[in-house]
Copies of this chain bind each other. A is one copy, B any other.
Amino acid sequence: MARLKDVAQLAQVSVSVASRVLNNDEGARINADTRKRVFEAAEQLAYVPDHRARALRLARAGAIALVVPEVNNAIFANLHAGVQEICHESSTAVFVAQLDPPEDDSRSLARIIGNGRVDGVILQRSEQYSDEALRRAIQLDIPVVLFNSTLEGHVGSVAMDDAGSVNVALEHLRGLGHTDIAFIAGAAQHDAAARRLVAFRELLGASGAPVRDEWIVPAGWEAPAGAEAMRSLLELPERPTAVLVASVNASIGALSAALAAGVRVPEELSIVTIHDTWQAEYVTPSITTVAMPMHAAGQWAASMVLDHLSGSPLRDEVITSPAPRLVVRSSTSAPRR
Contacts and interface: CB of A to CB of B under 8 A. Distances in A.
B51 A117 contact: yes
A189 interface: no
Interface stretch (A30-38, A76-84, A208-216): A76-84
A112 interface: yes
Nearest to A226: B282
A67 to B, nearest CB: 11
A48 interface: yes
Interface in A1-31: 1
A281 to B, nearest CB: 8
B62 A71 contact: no
A258 to B, nearest CB: 9
A95 B49 CA distance: 20
Contacts of A252: 279, 282-283
A278 B283 CA distance: 13
Contact of A52 (B61, B76, B93, B281): B61
A51 to B, nearest CB: 4
B71 A282 contact: no
A141 interface: yes
Nearest to A55: B52
Interface residues of A, number: 52
A93 B84 contact: no
A222 to B, nearest CB: 8
B97 A94 contact: yes
A253 B282 contact: yes
A72 B63 contact: no
17 contacts: A48-B110, A48-B115, A49-B115, A50-B115, A50-B116, A63-B114, A71-B77, A71-B96, A72-B72, A72-B76, A93-B112, A95-B95, A222-B278, A223-B281, A256-B282, A256-B286, A259-B284
The 5 tightest CB contacts between A and B, nearest first, are A72-B77, A96-B96, A95-B95, A52-B56, A51-B114
Interface of A: 1, 46, 48-53, 55-56, 61-63, 70-72, 74, 76-77, 80, 84, 93-98, 107, 110-112, 114-117, 141, 222-223, 227, 252-253, 255-256, 259-260, 278-279, 281-284, 286
